[in-house]
Amino acid sequence: MPAASPHLSETRRSRLIAIGLICCAVLFFALLDTSAKWLSGHMHPVQTVFARYAVSMVLVLMLLNPWSHPGVLRTKRPWLQGVRSLLLLGATALNFIALKYLQLAETVSIMFAGPLLVALVAGPLLGEWPGPRRLAAIGVGFLGVLVITRPGVGGMHPAALLCVFGTICYSFYALATRQVAAYDPPETTMVYSGVAGTLAVLPIIPFFWTMPQTPFVWLVMLAMGAFGGFGHWLLILAHRLAPATVLAPFIYSQIVWMIVLGWFVFGQFPDGWTFAGATIVIASGLYLLYRERVRKVPETAARLD
């Protein structure tokens, strides 16, 4: 067997590093949600959202600021940056409120439907129309969400609806991120996310603020912001080293961390319906990724997609 070319070996090495980074990123996101759920027993979710954004903003500005990165605040699409940041804020707030009542695995299973919604609305918004196979996968994925939430049968807390709305916000946030990436570097986008989110919550935080009673609560608040900031930073680094189609399947590993942390921290374990629904949603998402790869192959059969 001939030895692999240096270029091929370097590509494989970069992809392995990127996969490691994405796995670490989703671990940080799982720790973020775990911290937010724990804090919901000690303060209002609005205060939790503010802590997540304020701490993350400070950490990001320590690394990315006009002195260390001249021009980092310069954006070609300020309105798009603002809308994107507010969509992320809405998704975060709705998710944090839902976490107060739902298990970690339940919320992340519903959020996994985000790529399905992105594929559905990318047609009218971006002209990327899904074919019949991907439409079928999207429909099956949404059935998985219904299995998890079980509307009308009393299977889950009504807060699951907040998680659904949060997923909608996050899906449009993902589309806005794809659009703004054509104009601004990821460092600029990351700075605007933290600053816009913090400034949006700042005027209302006095109405919800309660002084943390113990140093440990302060520590969890600080850690939560750090988890969010570092998680998004690792996400950016990973996407610099490998394409999204390579990394996307590993994002689903977050559910493993959510199950483990939910059991270890809160003594909660998802029921069979949640496992079944999550499996359907994840399988549908992976099939969409597979069809995305097929579409890039110049074959006649790909026209069926």
What's the domain range around 29?
14-304
Q: What is the pLDDT of residue 296?
A: 58
Which is higher by pLDDT, 112 or 33?
33
Confirm whether 9 is domain-assigned: no
CB 13: neighbour CB atoms within 10 A?
11
Question: Helices (DSSP H) in 205-271: which residue ranges?
Answer: 215-241, 244-251, 254-266
Q: How many helices (H) and strands (E) does the chain have?
A: 12, 0
Q: What pTM was estimated for this model as a whole?
A: 0.85
The phi and psi torsions of 92 (rounded to 5 degrees) equal -65, -45
- Among 97-101, 105-109, 121-125, 131-135, whose mean pLDDT is lowest? 121-125
Confirm whether 3 is domain-assigned: no
Confirm whether 8 is domain-assigned: no
Confirm whether 6 is domain-assigned: no
Q: Report the mean per-residue pLDDT for the chain.
A: 85
- pLDDT of residue 305 exceeding 60, the answer is no
CB 224: neighbour CB atoms within 10 A?
24
Euclidean distance between CA atoms 101 and 8, whole angstroms: 48
- Supply angle C-alpha 105, 122, 191, rounded to 5: 65
Domain count, the chain: 1
96 Cβ partners below 8 Å, 6+ apart?
A: 36, 40, 45, 48, 49, 52
Confirm whether 298 is domain-assigned: yes
CB 104 within 8 A of CB 258: yes
pLDDT tens figures, 118-130: 888 877 776 767 7
Q: What's the pLDDT band for 7 if we cut at 50, 70, 90? A: low
